[in-house]
């Protein structure tokens, strides 16, 4: 990938955002289909990989939303990631997100069994917060209403459906806490 392509890709994205910090980049082939990127705020030194899909949903099937995505300084987002908000997603600084990760604050509605799911609209968002220093492994899903605590690790292929406290390792589907930092012992310990 040439520097020229990266600069052009970044320039076009930055022009559409609410804020795009200095020394931040977004690699080519990202998707902003059908949205206004003014609801996306990116800090300094952020790196977003190829084929990222970053979307704020302002309306769907006649329903209006007030979405916002905030990505903090020094965060790195891998290839093929999707960040989708109709409420609010906050990713604090120095977060490391591997490839093929989904972060969403909403889902597709499915309550009416007489209508195809694709025609039922989407649920109202529940804010997602990913705190400073988190690492999210590849192929994970972070679902509506979740908070992931400071410096926590989410193992590859996990579905995060509930909050994860600070300084924990969570893995599985659904993700469960498997290790936690013990301040008294000054080390990581297994959780049974």
Total domains in the fold of the chain: 1
123 DSSP 8-state letter: P
Range of the domain at 51: 3-190
User: What is the pLDDT, as a whole number, of residue 158?
Assistant: 98
Contact 105, 145 (CB under 8 A): yes
Are the C-beta atoms of residues 178 and 169 closer than 8 Å to each other? yes
Instruction: Give dist(CA 82, CA 98) in Å, integer.
Output: 11
Which residues are catalytic, by number?
Answer: 108
pLDDT per residue of the chain (192 residues) written in tens, 0 to 9: 678 888 888 888 888 899 999 999 999 888 765 566 889 999 999 999 999 999 898 888 788 889 999 999 999 999 999 999 999 999 999 999 999 999 999 999 999 999 999 889 899 999 999 999 999 999 999 999 999 999 999 999 999 999 999 999 999 999 999 999 999 999 999 997
CATH number, position 157: 2.160.10.10
pLDDT at 1: 62
Query: How many CB atoms sit inside 10 A of residue 64's CB?
Result: 9
pTM: 0.93
Residue with structure tokens 């310990």? 189
**Contact predicate 47/53, CB 8 Å:** no
- pLDDT on residue 33: 58
| Residue 131 tokens, joined | 């705190």
End-to-end CA gap in the chain: 46
Under 8 Å between Cβ of 84 and 57: yes
Task: State how far the Cα of 169 lies from the Cα of 150, in Å rounded to an integer.
Answer: 11
Contacts of 114 (CB under 8 A, 6+ apart): none
């Amino acid at each position: 990938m040439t520097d020229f392509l990266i600069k052009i890709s970044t320039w076009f994205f930055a022009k559409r955002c609410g804020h795009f910090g200095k020394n931040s980049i977004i690699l080519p082939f990202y998707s902003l289909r059908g949205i206004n990127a003014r609801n996306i705020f990116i800090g300094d030194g952020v790196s977003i990989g190829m084929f990222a899909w970053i979307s704020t949903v302002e309306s769907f099937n006649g329903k209006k939303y007030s979405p916002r995505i905030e990505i903090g300084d020094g965060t790195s987002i891998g290839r093929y990631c999707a960040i989708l908000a109709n409420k609010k997603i906050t990713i604090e600084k120095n977060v490391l997100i591997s490839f093929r990760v989904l972060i969403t604050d909403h889902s597709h509605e499915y309550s009416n069994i007489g209508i195809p799911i694709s025609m039922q609209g989407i649920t109202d968002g529940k804010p997602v917060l990913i705190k400073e220093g988190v690492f999210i492994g590849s192929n994970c899903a972070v679902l509506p209403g979740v908070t992931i605590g400071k410096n926590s690790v989410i193992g590859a292929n996990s579905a995060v459906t509930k909050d994860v406290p600070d300084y924990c390792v969570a893995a599985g589907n659904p993700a469960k806490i498997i290790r936690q930092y013990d301040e008294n012992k000054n080390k990581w310990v297994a959780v049974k």
